[in-house]
Amino acid sequence: MRALTIEVKDSDLILKNLLDNGALLLDVRTNHEFAGFHLPKAYNIRPEELSRQINRIKNWKKPIIVYSTYGLRSRLAHHILEGYGIEVYDANSQLRVMSLLQEFNQPK
């Protein structure tokens, strides 16, 4: 059997570096989804509320990593926040962020 080497994507390293340096997680799923399960220290603002919350978000003064269940709402949130000049990164899915946090926090 041949061994496969799985390389960490550059985007994963970028996201992990952002998290290590204080970027904030923004969960853009519904309040109900967020209440069911969310990542520690994540904020929850639905895409349709972003414009109303923009001053609050700008006051965070940190890069923001957005995610949703499958990545559709995070793509929309990324577009909205980018339009306001926010430094924002789209991690796509909550599962990807969870995997990154687990993978990079494993002892070597």
Q: What is the pLDDT of residues 61-104, one digit of tens each?
A: 999 999 999 889 999 999 999 999 999 999 988 878 877 777 66
Q: What residue segments make up the domains of the chain, in order of their start?
A: 10-104
Nearest by Cα to 9 from 108, 92, 107? 92
Residue 27, token pair as written in the block: 């969960």
Q: Does domain 10-104 have CATH number 3.40.250.10?
A: yes
Residue 34, token pair as written in the block: 């967020």
List the 88-93 sheet strands across, edge first: 43-44, 24-27, 64-68, 88-93
pLDDT for the residue 106? 47
Q: What is the mean pLDDT of the chain?
A: 86
Regarding pTM above 0.85, the answer is: no
- pLDDT tier at 1 (50, 70, 90 boundaries)? very low
Asked whether residue 27 carries a pLDDT value surpassing 60, the answer given is: yes
